[in-house]
Amino acid sequence: MKITAISIFPEYFAPLELSLIGKAREHKIVDFKAVNLRDYTYDNHHTVDDTPYGGGAGMVMKPEPWGEAIDAVIDKSDQLIDLVILTPAGKQFNQRVAEEFSNSAHLLFACGRYEGIDARVADFYRSAKNVRVHEISIGDYVLNGGEVAAMVIIEAVTRLIPGVIGNPDSLAEESHNELGSVEYPSYTKPALWRGHAVPEILLSGNHGEIAKWRTTQGKLRSKGEPHK
Ligand code: 6GU
């Protein structure tokens, strides 16, 4: 999978060299590249934003640098590109979307700052060949820019690619694979710690009863109730 992130802060993506995605890159499963949006400006000040039409507070990112930067990525690619425009007004990211994105050949993240990217950028690429546009938010709160959101999505998506996670069984069992279910609580040795014992059922060796207990506990947890 190719992953490209366009941003005015490409250094934000340095941690992707570490940990999971680091491994995925080493094994050539994921090819990540951060692109500096300012490389696609032509004025002396490398301007990427301007005041909003219609008035109001804040600044809007100009469409021209975005168009140039995205075109440069598209022109170098012969694959279908999933252009992910990060905006708090987008569709909320979840595990279903992560699974969809994990099948992409090329994820291209447009990380906006300020009051977002001129809306015509999304409109333009919606009618472009070989591009699918996704406007995505990672939750109901406001971040200063899409960079951290892109990192969240990259981590959620890349770990679903075969070969990125050491033990694929840990993918099959984990939280959110079924709608509304959240993972059951986990315990390891010692069996008694600071007066808190591991639930007896887990020591019973009865795998049928253990599976039932875990389902119940997972459901309690997903309602925000503590495990019993
Ligand atoms: Cl994708 N961007 C920004 N700026 N804020 C957000 C977000 C994205 N998702 C949640 N809040």
Render pLDDT for 99-129 as a digit per residue (tens, 0 to 9): 999 999 999 999 999 889 999 999 999 999 9
The span from the CA of 170 to the CA of 72, in Å, is 38
Atom number in ligand 1 closest to CA 141: 11
Q: Which residue's structure tokens are 């333009």? A: 124
Q: Are 227 and 217 in contact (CB under 8 A)?
A: yes
Asked if pLDDT for residue 182 goes beyond 80, the answer is: no
> How many A from CA of 224 to the centre of ligand 1?
24
Q: Of 28-37, 84-93, 143-152, where does mean pLDDT reach its minimum? A: 28-37
> How many A from CA of 149 to the centre of ligand 1?
6
What is the reported pLDDT for 163? Answer: 76
Atom number in ligand 1 closest to CA 113: 4
Render pLDDT for 22-67 as a digit per residue (tens, 0 to 9): 678 778 899 999 999 999 999 999 999 999 999 999 999 999 999 9
Given pLDDT bands bounded at 50, 70 and 90, which one contains residue 171? confident
Q: Are 87 and 149 in contact (CB under 8 A)?
A: no
> How many A from CA of 117 to the centre of ligand 1?
12
Atom number in ligand 1 closest to CA 149: 1
| Cβ-Cβ contacts under 8 Å for 1 (sequence gap 6 or more) | 29, 30, 31, 102, 104, 105, 106, 107, 158, 161
Q: What is the pTM of this model?
A: 0.91
The span from the CA of 182 to the CA of 112, in Å, is 32
The span from the CA of 184 to the CA of 213, in Å, is 9
| Cβ-Cβ contacts under 8 Å for 47 (sequence gap 6 or more) | 41, 62
Q: Which of 115, 136, 142, 152 maximizes ligand 1 atoms within 8 Å of its Cβ, making it the mutation to test the pocket?
A: 142
What is the reported pLDDT for 180? Answer: 46
Q: Are 32 and 151 in contact (CB under 8 A)?
A: no
User: What lines the ligand 1 site, CB under 6 Å?
Assistant: 86-88, 137-139, 141-143, 145-146, 149
3-state helix/strand/coil string of the chain = CEEEEEECCHHHHHHHHCHHHHHHHHCCCCEEEEEEHHHHCCCCCCCCEECCCCCCCCCEECHHHHHHHHHHHHHCCCCCEEEEEEEEEEEECCHHHHHHHCCCCEEEEEECECCCECCHHHHHHHCCCCEEEEEEECCCCCCCECHHHHHHHHHHHHCCCCCCCCCCHHHHHCCCCCCCCCCCCCCCCCCEECCEECCHHHHCCCHHHHHHHHHHHHHHHHCCCCCC
* Residue among 86, 62, 88, 116 nearest 5 (CA): 86
The span from the CA of 62 to the CA of 51, in Å, is 9
* Residue among 178, 182, 179, 175 nearest 223 (CA): 182
